[in-house]
Chain A
Amino acid sequence: MSQDGTHTGAQLIWESLLREGVDTVFGYPGGAILPTYDAMVGYPIRHVLVRHEQSAAHMADGYARASGRVGVVVATSGPGATNLVTGLATAMLDSTPLVAITGQVGSALLGTDAFQEVDITGITIPVTKHNYLVTGAEDIVPALREAFAVARSGRPGPVLVDITKDAQQSRATLDWEAAAPQRHRRHLPPPPDSAGLARALELIRHAKRPVILAGHGIQLAGARAEVLALAERADIPFALTLLGLGAVPATHPLSLGMMGMHGESWVNRAIQEADLLLALGMRFDDRVTGKLKAYAPNARKIHIDIDASELNKNVPVEVAIAGDLLEVLRALLPEVPVADRSSWLGTIREWRGDSAVRDIQNLPDDGHLYAAHVMHDLWRLTKGEAVVVTDVGQHQMWEAQYYKHDGERSLITSGGAGTMGFALPAAIGAKLARPEAEVWVVAGDGGFQMTFAELMTAVQEGVKVHIAIINNGYLGMVRQWQAMFYEGRYAATPILSPDFVKLAEAFGIPGQRVEARGDLAAAVARARAAAGPSLIEFKVEQEDSVYPMVPAGAALHDMIRRPSSLAETGSDSA
């Protein structure tokens, strides 16, 4: 290793981050990354000190999802690095561009079980797009440049760069140009294939009952305008995946709402009775298809996705187009015939009216506070303009059902991995990425307790996030499954919580408790008026369930609907 050179390896890390446009990193120091922390002083990059490295990864994830930029995490070797694994898996499954930089023991100690040595590149192979072990200062810039390129390109994802302590300490010359990345180009999608486009157009032209399935890929590709143009031109309604919410406006007349396990019954019915599905940047996850054998049996299917390995993976399709969604839609649009499908849209509207009768918003007020009420009111009070970051569980589904997302990147949620503890840290990241946005955390009493130490991070960094805890005294979503499928045996799902209001105060932030719907608006107003972070605990109906629901393994149209009397449960087909 050369001792001459313009920079130390540690400085090269910060130089590279600056040139990649990074202004904020999330991390936690330790011995093996100490040279890098030492070199950080003097660089114009904000470092957010988290309380647990898992949260650093979620913060970077929230930062990236809110902004479309690459999120960056820094951690030390051994336990610091292993604490990132859940966050990396979360980012991997939801295609978030992330770069994690970890310190590693000195290269002479590699493979000796030295203090705080773990094989983090080995451990993270399945949960990263790619990773690197860097043992020389001269390799740092090429590895980081490639890491950013890989994280951003194609289907985005997390990349880890593990850098030995001696590589951080020794010197090398900064040659940015010479380190220009190349290899990620091998995997860039090909230009859309014209035979596929022609076939897709033909299917669209002949369809009588088409539905667009709108996924997360639309936001990742920045193809919102093109999807809307296509839908409007061909008069095709769109159903959204959970991560697709916000990709196209919920209040658009062609918007049906969320599909899948907790999608509305008319949406799933439209999919089941469609004669054409046009799947855009979504991946036919089991949560949206229900039983595969019974999925949209009469529909021809067109699937456009940047990731060729998703095509024909779960659902065999008639036309599979691998490519950049924006490019494909731009090629397709001028040829799409203008159509009027008012009779199909009218049919769907009828189904919708039938379902609305069972909507909890339309049921007589029984004096209880329901989570759905909280979401609905929150939507009204924030005019649907907030960025909402949810945790995982029932509240996540209620949020998806009752908060109407019009804006892009306005719902941030762990869809693929379903990671509890995600919301608070991801919201802190989102707020740092978009300081002008109003950011709400919606979390359950269970998930919130997994990462609430990050309240202190929000306070230390002065990050104004509003926290809504939906407290039902249970690990609600699991309790719901126990109620429906395990004869009501509530094994390990009742969960005790601290006094959240006092807890907030212990962190130095205002806390409020709401038990009646009438007090909700005032509490929200106070929270919004607070100077910094604030917390509201909503004490909601304990044994409420998310309806409708497609039981795991059932066909998409075979939904359990909200019983008309809340006490009874029953099943019927939508």
Chain B
Amino acid sequence: MLQASRPQVLVVYTDDEPGVLTRIASLIRRRGFNIHSLTVGPTERAGLSRMTIVVDSEAPMVRQAVEHLRKLVNVLEVQQLGERPKVVRDLVLVRVAAGSEVRSEVLQLAQVFRATVVDLAEDSLVIECTGSLDKIDALVDAMRPFGILELGRTGAVAMARGTRTPSPRNAPVPLRTGTGSEAMSV
């Protein structure tokens, strides 16, 4: 969970190529950052992946990490969202112990958070919720007294607010190396 230190949100555009995640994770590890979360997925453009990296660190250190990330051959662009208005979303699946005596209470609470129930069993139910990191933390705290049996979070996906399209304008240049069928994506 997040500590008092302010999380820094980075958006990194990379080639969709094997090994890119390792390179980025390795660079961040070497510089001694704690990665709070790192999510990655395809973008609107083929061959281009987008990562959201949330790190807990001091701003100057993060600036350094950004400069190092920018040097990686596979990195097209790094945006440091910093103080900019942004949307940061995380998704959680949480299995809560919910026998008949507390079930309605759990359901009510879930409603407060606009969470949805996606699975129902005799003694438990699975709740899905999307929202800011704080909101998800609050939901998890609210469910804790009932007994959390299982919890899975995706980590943050972030985007700056406003009309500007942030994806890099220069298109990714494919270089087909090691993209055999056995190679995993990113």
List of A residues within 8 angstroms of B73 by Cβ: 129-130, 146, 150, 183-184, 186-187
The A-B contact count (CB < 8 A) is: 71
- Find residues 141-186 in chain B having any chain A CB closer than 8 Å to their own CB: 170, 173, 175-178, 180, 182-183
- B84 at the binding interface (Cβ < 8 Å): no
List of B residues within 8 angstroms of A133 by Cβ: 18-19, 177-178
- B86 at the binding interface (Cβ < 8 Å): no
Whether the pair A126, B70 counts as a contact (CB closer than 8 A) is no
Whether the pair A111, B182 counts as a contact (CB closer than 8 A) is yes
Whether the pair A187, B70 counts as a contact (CB closer than 8 A) is yes
Whether the pair B70, A183 counts as a contact (CB closer than 8 A) is no
- B94 at the binding interface (Cβ < 8 Å): no
Whether the pair B26, A143 counts as a contact (CB closer than 8 A) is no
List of A residues within 8 angstroms of B173 by Cβ: 182-183
List of B residues within 8 angstroms of A122 by Cβ: 22
- B45 at the binding interface (Cβ < 8 Å): no
Stretch at the interface among B49-57, B60-68, B99-107, B113-121: B60-68
Whether the pair A125, B26 counts as a contact (CB closer than 8 A) is yes
Classify chain A's interface size.
20 to 34
Residue of A nearest to B15 (CB): A183
Whether the pair B60, A110 counts as a contact (CB closer than 8 A) is no
Stretch at the interface among A273-281, A304-312, A472-480, A490-498: A304-312
Partner of A143, one of B22, B75, B177: B177
Residue of A nearest to B69 (CB): A309
A472 to chain B, nearest CB (A): 36
Bound Cα distance from A121 to B20, whole angstroms: 12
Whether the pair B177, A313 counts as a contact (CB closer than 8 A) is no
- B23 at the binding interface (Cβ < 8 Å): yes
List of B residues within 8 angstroms of A126 by Cβ: 26, 30
Partner of B175, one of A107, A143, A312: A143
B168 to chain A, nearest CB (A): 9
Interface residues as binary, B68-97 with A (CB distance below 8 Å gives 1, 0 otherwise)? 101111111000000000000000000000
Whether the pair B64, A146 counts as a contact (CB closer than 8 A) is no
Partner of A142, one of B22, B74, B76, B177: B177
Residue of A nearest to B178 (CB): A133
Classify chain B's interface size.
20 to 34
- A134 at the binding interface (Cβ < 8 Å): yes
- A406 at the binding interface (Cβ < 8 Å): no
B60 to chain A, nearest CB (A): 7
Interface residues as binary, A129-141 with B (CB distance below 8 Å gives 1, 0 otherwise)? 1101111101100
Residue of A nearest to B25 (CB): A125
Bound Cα distance from A133 to B180, whole angstroms: 10
Given the known inter-chain contacts A125-B23, A184-B73, please indicate yes or no for A313 contacting B175, CB distance below 8 A. Answer: no
Bound Cα distance from A154 to B30, whole angstroms: 22
Given the known inter-chain contacts A183-B173, A309-B64, A312-B60, please indicate yes or no for A132 contacting B71, CB distance below 8 A. Answer: no
Given the known inter-chain contacts A126-B30, A309-B64, please indicate yes or no for A183 contacting B175, CB distance below 8 A. Answer: yes
Bound Cα distance from A464 to B75, whole angstroms: 44
Residue of B nearest to A129 (CB): B73
List of A residues within 8 angstroms of B178 by Cβ: 132-135, 139
Name the residue among A130, A150, A155 with the largest chain B CB count within 10 angstroms.
Answer: A130
Name the residue among A133, A307, A312 with the largest chain B CB count within 10 angstroms.
Answer: A133
List of B residues within 8 angstroms of A142 by Cβ: 175-177
List of B residues within 8 angstroms of A184 by Cβ: 73
Partner of A136, one of B26, B30, B72, B180: B180
A78 to chain B, nearest CB (A): 18
- Find residues 319-373 in chain A having any chain B CB closer than 8 Å to their own CB: none
Residue of B nearest to A142 (CB): B175
Whether the pair A307, B71 counts as a contact (CB closer than 8 A) is yes
Partner of B170, one of A138, A186, A311, A312: A186
Given the known inter-chain contacts A126-B30, A308-B70, please indicate yes or no for A313 contacting B64, CB distance below 8 A. Answer: yes
List of B residues within 8 angstroms of A125 by Cβ: 22-23, 26
A474 to chain B, nearest CB (A): 34
Name the residue among B68, B76, B178 with the largest chain A CB count within 10 angstroms.
Answer: B178
* A-B CB contact pairs (8 Å), 29 listed: A107-B182, A110-B182, A121-B19, A122-B22, A125-B23, A129-B73, A130-B72, A130-B73, A132-B178, A133-B18, A133-B177, A133-B178, A134-B177, A134-B178, A139-B176, A139-B177, A142-B175, A155-B71, A183-B74, A183-B175, A186-B73, A186-B76, A186-B170, A187-B71, A308-B67, A309-B64, A309-B67, A309-B71, A312-B63
The 3 tightest CB contacts between A and B, nearest first, are A309-B67, A133-B178, A182-B173
Q: Known pairs A110-B182, A130-B74. 14 more at Cβ < 8 A? A: A126-B26, A130-B72, A132-B177, A133-B178, A135-B177, A135-B183, A136-B176, A138-B176, A150-B73, A155-B71, A182-B173, A183-B74, A309-B64, A309-B71
